[in-house]
Amino acid sequence: MPDEHPDRLQPPLDVIAALSTAPEFGDFLDVLDDGVLIFDAALTLRALNRRAREMTGLGEDAVGKPLDATLGSSSLDWALRGDTAKSPRRRDRILMAEAGRTVLAAERPWPVAGDARPGLVIVLRDLKLLDHTRRSLAGEREAKVFKFLSDRAGMPDFEAQRRVAPALDTALLHGERALRQGARVLLVGESGSGKTELARHLHRAVGMPGEPFVHVNCGAIPESLFESEMFGYERGAFTGALASGNRGLIEAADGGTLFLDEVGEIPLTLQAKLLKFLEDGLVQRVGARSARRADVRIVAATNRDLGQLIGEGLFRRDLYYRLAVFVLDIPPLRAQPGLKAHLVDHFLNAANRVRSPKLRLSPACRAALLTYPFPGNIRELHNVVQHLSVVAGDIAEPEHVPSAVSIVPDAAPAADASASTGSDVEAGAPSGSSLREQVRDYERLLIEAAILRHGSKRAAARALGVDIGTIVRKTRG
């Protein structure tokens, strides 16, 4: 059983200090399975290894930048922790990363020769990968785990995508222009069409390095916590409040971009307060007597018909007009054949970075992928390529493609998923799949049917008797 004490999950700091001036130092860091970022006594980034770049999205050009700018440019949610590290001291954090992963960040001061001030070493560990290693050593069986390396390599190459997808190029051009002019942008598109990555691209395209990007999944925040999470709270505002109070997500995005994902899921009773912030730019924490100003860019996204929600009295018309200064319609993947072909190769290359032998697609398999409409869009295509990487050897053939892909007709997904039955699930389950996998697939089918039937994830959660977090987690691609 591996030793899981936090102090023994990281390289010894005296070793790092001793090797920091050696020519081989970079090679030493790249051998490690953990991400490592090293800051000097002035809290300037002096080194980061390959794993740190994969886990944070930072490039080698981050070296030489100050601590705040480095963490602010990272894809990890440092900005959401309230007290972003300002000075070297011992602390451990659990951070959220892309694709729902969690990362243990161990911050430790280390002695810098010739300086009375300590430097700072941050060691990052992918907890999902750690649990996978623990289970493997204990002989336990579990579902496949894809490393951060594959996830990071699978991130979109928008420069290449713009060359093969004219509609996407036009959308990005207009979105960048709108944000530069101070307009709010609403991304509208089917689930899995890449709205989150588009929002990140727009943020990077118009912002300065170090500016925060705060991703808020509006459908995942319980209604009872929505106000305190978004706007923060003062000390003693309610039972269980932190003694120091807490800034909200809007304040965390100050000076950067606030991405309101699944904006159609915001409860009607709380839309008025968000509207007020959009009108005057002031944030009033729960329990506070005065408001604070927050200067943020706003990008919102939805896969729902907000016009229909307005007609049903579930979404405020005035809030819609505040958010939809410029609306970007994201075409589905089936309408962009050039993009589909690019993404097949892009995700295949990403999978091949963590497998041996390298996977190739037979002409018939590639043809099957290029003709399938992918109602789940980019997210579904990514999942299918990862499936092929697991089940195929050197060459993926049509029989390796998930049965659900091969039997879906060349059309958008059916409007009434509630008509599906248990026999449908059994027919679509891959041969040899475990009971746990089949139960998981059936559970997801029931949840998706409930979302279609009731119109939103929040309403589906109420109908199924579970919390919204469960729905979001189990429908995540």
Domain harbouring 57, CATH code: 3.30.450.20
| Residue 411 one-letter amino acid | A
Listed residues 329, 364, 383: the one ending a domain: 329
Q: Are residues 197 and 75 in the same domain?
A: no
Is the residue at 458 inside a domain? yes
Determine the structural domain holding residue 168 and report its residue range. 154-329
Q: Are residues 111 and 239 in the same domain?
A: no
Q: Are residues 12 and 77 in the same domain?
A: yes
Is the residue at 379 inside a domain? no
pLDDT per position as a tens digit, 361-413? 998 898 889 888 888 888 889 889 988 988 888 899 988 888 777 554 443 33
State the average pLDDT over residues 56-70: 82
Q: Are residues 134 and 201 in the same domain?
A: no
Q: Are residues 75 and 119 in the same domain?
A: yes
pLDDT class for 298, splitting at 50, 70, 90? very high
Q: Which residue has the higher pLDDT, 140 or 179?
A: 179
Tally of domains in the chain:
3
pLDDT per position as a tens digit, 325-371? 999 999 899 888 889 989 998 899 888 887 888 899 998 898 889 88
Using CA atoms, how far residue 42 sits from 64, 65, 89, 316, in Å, is 11, 10, 14, 49
User: Mean pLDDT, the chain, as a whole number?
Assistant: 77
Is the residue at 455 inside a domain? yes
Q: Are residues 218 and 325 in the same domain?
A: yes
Q: Are residues 44 and 160 in the same domain?
A: no
In whole angstroms, give the CA distance from residue 281 to residue 267.
20
Instruction: Give helix then strand counts, H and E, for the chain.
Output: 22, 14
State the average pLDDT over residues 84-94: 70
Q: Are residues 215 and 266 in the same domain?
A: yes
In whole angstroms, give the CA distance from residue 416 to residue 450.
10
Listed residues 312, 329, 346: the one ending a domain: 329
pLDDT class for 288, splitting at 50, 70, 90? confident
In whole angstroms, give the CA distance from residue 110 to residue 96.
25
Q: Are residues 313 and 229 in the same domain?
A: yes
Give pLDDT, residue 428: 38
Q: Are residues 254 and 323 in the same domain?
A: yes
pTM: 0.56
Q: Are residues 445 and 315 in the same domain?
A: no
Q: Are residues 237 and 92 in the same domain?
A: no
Question: Which residue has tokens 């927050």?
Answer: 294
pLDDT(59) > 70: yes
In whole angstroms, give the CA distance from residue 242 to residue 233.
9
Is the residue at 466 inside a domain? yes
pLDDT class for 101, splitting at 50, 70, 90? low
Are the CB atoms for 209 and 261 separated by under 8 Å? Answer: no
Buried b (16+ CB within 10 A) or exposed e, 435-460: eeeeeebbeebbbbbbbeebbbbbbb
- Domain CATH number, residue 312: 3.40.50.300
Is the residue at 397 inside a domain? no
Listed residues 104, 124, 145: the one ending a domain: 145
